[in-house]
Amino acid sequence: MQNTMMNFPLTLTHLLKRAGQLFGGSEIVSRLPDKSLHRYTYRDFQRRASALAGALQQLGIKKGERVATLMWNHYAHLETYFAAPCAGSVLHTLNLRLHPDDIAFIVNHAQDRFLIVDDVLLPLYEKFKAQTKFEHVIAVPLTKQPVAAGYDDYEKLLANAPAFDPPPLNENDACGMCYTSGTTGKPKGVVYSHRSTVLHALATSTVDYMGIGNRDTLCPVVPMFHVNAWGLPYSAAMMGAKIAFPGPHLDAVNLLDLMVAENVTVSAGVPTIWMGVLQAVEKEPARWKLAPGLRMVCGGAAAPEALIRAMDRYGMRVIHGWGMTELSPLGALNFIKRELTDLTRDEEYAVRAKQGVAPPFVELRTMAESGEAPWDGVAMGELQVRGPWVAAGYHELPSESDQWTADGWFRTGDIAIMDEHGYMKIADRIKDLVKSGGEWISSVDLENALMAHPAVAEAAVIAVPHPRWDERPVAVVVLKPGANATPDALRDHLEPKFAKFWLPDDYKFVDAIPKTSTGKMLKATLRSQYAKLFIS
Ligand code: ADP
């Protein structure tokens, strides 16, 4: 039997039209490089994004061609988020924290045709310009200075744009692309479709997930060049939520000031951002009056339980989630299921520190290499995933096809434990696990326990080659300003919580832990730094 439903395409064109028609009065606020605030409404946004789409068409962009961006989080980036896909082209957000040579490599690999760049980032563009050949480079005059010769002026393009004639789009057409941040390997390009992006926005906006509603004010701290700021700009526009973009000002004090001034109710970022925010409020507890019930979605790396507990004390609810560039990014988010409402406080925190429950249409499974439970009798294995917003391949990299199983699941490269309630907990990345005497040790568990010590600001646990045990864990620790702790004190702190062979063999105190361009601990660098600790 044939169904009688309309085959209405799931495209961003609908979301753009809807944002202007239904939410014209909602505000979009952006902190500019000079710290002043740019304000306008969804009505202006829809008009300008449509003008940009018309301008891109007039400049000759064709279906499926890439429009790259080199921009901070602000209104013009949001306009491009919709204009490029609605014009039929593909939004490709470039990570401005990468080395210029790496940006050039990615631009060429993606075959980007146009570039839209913040005027304040033109000096960065100049560093890789010679290695690339964009046909048009469009500069956004955020500083209100005249755009330098040789570049198209974003504002002039918009002012002179022809009426936008939306091209017919299929929901499976490409709409965006992002490269993985390359924490453990070379960056790989993932291409999203209108359909995958729309479904991701719908699922992530449900109440138990990010629950972005019309009455929310969203502050996306996660950069718009990192997995589309976790898809949040699309979710916010879909619901007409107010947005407060932080621009380039991502330090704790500026973020807190913005959150108070704009009455932010939901935000999202990596743990290091929230650790900075926590330190700032601990230092001046009375300074910021945040919105009651403020939610901070936290992912990209494990959120330590100590962080979740401490943020609660200041009225900030950390919501742990897990994702990947290949997953658009949401693969799991934490909420307390009704069957768990009788938990003690400590039990509830232990659940909240897990990465969470898969959203509708995402399926997770853990596959143990040997089929045996490697430790503590808990079944654990490589996390595999499938769903409509999970990548089925990489852009022009057929050689990477072994990241998918023969039965069509994506191999995440993470090791996870699934509990009986369906909560997924990441134990480690496969490449970061410590293998000692044939047994596995979770670096993430040790790090989280170390970060619960009052003197510890941050900790990384790495595998160091060992002549007898193959590998042994070593903790690299950053102490809080003015705090003291000896290796013995840290060992005493860990001892009651772990099997003896889990305890790190050494503790190294450092000023800072090296981080990737997206704020994750660079364990590969630490591993090579301490590679000779036990073997000379
Ligand atoms: P990269 O692998 O280069 O860092 P991504 O930015 O796509 O690229 O990061 C995805 C990875 O980040 C995941 O595979 C996982 O290892 C890690 N990750 C993301 N969220 C979490 C989390 N909540 N807890 C632990 N690890 C996480």
Relative to the CA of 226, which ligand 1 atom is closest? Answer: 6
164 CB contacts (<8 Å, ≥6 apart)? 50, 51, 53, 54, 57, 86, 87
Per-residue pLDDT band for 15 (boundaries 50, 70, 90) equals: very high
The residue whose CA is least distant from atom 27 of ligand 1 is 301
Residue with tokens 């490589």: 382
Residue with tokens 């960065």: 124
Relative to the CA of 444, which ligand 1 atom is closest? Answer: 25
Q: How far is the CA of 324 from the centre of ligand 1 (A)?
A: 5
Q: Which pair of structure tokens corresponds to residue 430?
A: 């496969």
* Residues 469, 490: Cα–Cα separation, whole Å: 22
Catalytic residue among 440, 480, 515, 525: 440
Task: Write the DSSP assignment of 31-85 as a string of letters.
Answer: E-TTS-EEEEEHHHHHHHHHHHHHHHHHTT--TT-EEEEE--SSHHHHHHHHHHH
pLDDT per position as a tens digit, 126-140: 999 999 999 999 999
For the domain spanning 433-529, the CATH number is: 3.30.300.30
Residue 144 to residues 81, 141, 147: CA-CA distances in angstroms? 22, 5, 8
Please tell me the predicted confidence (pLDDT) of residue 137: 98
Q: Indicate if ligand 1 lies below 6 Å from the C-beta of 426.
A: yes
* Residues 360, 133: Cα–Cα separation, whole Å: 42
Our answer to whether residue 486 is catalytic in this structure is no
- Average pLDDT for residues 274-301, to the nearest whole number? 96
**Edge to edge, what strands does the sheet with 294-298 contain?**
37-41, 27-31, 242-245, 217-220, 266-269, 294-298, 316-323, 330-333
Q: Which of 93, 178, 183, 275 to mutate to test the pocket of ligand 1 (most atoms within 8 A of CB)?
A: 183
Catalytic residue among 180, 217, 412, 518: 180
pLDDT per position as a tens digit, 350-401: 999 999 999 999 999 988 754 444 444 456 789 999 999 999 999 999 888 8
* Residues 130, 24: Cα–Cα separation, whole Å: 42
Q: How far is the CA of 76 from the centre of ligand 1 (A)?
A: 28
* Residues 498, 97: Cα–Cα separation, whole Å: 37
Please tell me the predicted confidence (pLDDT) of residue 535: 86
Which CATH number is correct for 12-30+42-193, 3.40.50.12640, 3.40.50.12780, 3.10.129.10, 3.30.565.10? 3.40.50.12780
From the CB of residue 95, how many other CB atoms can be counted at a distance below 10 Å? 20
Our answer to whether residue 389 is catalytic in this structure is no
528 CB contacts (<8 Å, ≥6 apart)? none
* Residues 265, 158: Cα–Cα separation, whole Å: 32
Catalytic residue among 65, 171, 262, 326: 326
323 CB contacts (<8 Å, ≥6 apart)? 227, 230, 299, 300, 329, 330, 331, 332
pLDDT per position as a tens digit, 444-495: 999 999 999 999 999 999 999 999 999 999 999 999 999 999 999 999 999 9
Relative to the CA of 412, which ligand 1 atom is closest? Answer: 14
Task: Give the type of residue at 516.
Answer: T
Q: Indicate if ligand 1 lies below 6 Å from the C-beta of 182.
A: yes
Relative to the CA of 182, which ligand 1 atom is closest? Answer: 3
Q: Indicate if ligand 1 lies below 6 Å from the C-beta of 322.
A: yes
Q: Indicate if ligand 1 lies below 6 Å from the C-beta of 301.
A: yes
Please tell me the predicted confidence (pLDDT) of residue 377: 42
pLDDT per position as a tens digit, 53-83: 999 999 999 999 999 999 999 999 999 999 9
Report the SS3 class of residue 219.
strand
Q: Indicate if ligand 1 lies below 6 Å from the C-beta of 323.
A: yes
From the CB of residue 220, how many other CB atoms can be counted at a distance below 10 Å? 25
Q: Which of 322, 334, 523 to mutate to test the pocket of ligand 1 (most atoms within 8 A of CB)?
A: 322
**Distance spanning both ends of the chain, measured CA to CA:** 72
Report the SS3 class of residue 495.
helix
Beta strands in 169-234 (DSSP E): 174-179, 189-193, 217-220
Which phi and psi (to 5°) does residue 138 adopt?
Answer: -105, 120
The residue whose CA is least distant from atom 26 of ligand 1 is 301
Sequence ranges of the domains in the chain: 12-30+42-193, 433-529
* Residues 427, 441: Cα–Cα separation, whole Å: 9
Our answer to whether residue 409 is catalytic in this structure is no
- Average pLDDT for residues 513-522, to the nearest whole number? 90
Report the SS3 class of residue 19.
helix
Please tell me the predicted confidence (pLDDT) of residue 369: 57
Least confident of 252-256, 435-439, 458-462, 490-494: 435-439
The pTM score is: 0.94
- Average pLDDT for residues 231-240, to the nearest whole number? 98
Residue 6 to residues 9, 99, 173, 453: CA-CA distances in angstroms? 9, 48, 19, 58
Our answer to whether residue 180 is catalytic in this structure is yes
Residue 347 to residues 292, 301, 350, 351: CA-CA distances in angstroms? 24, 22, 5, 6
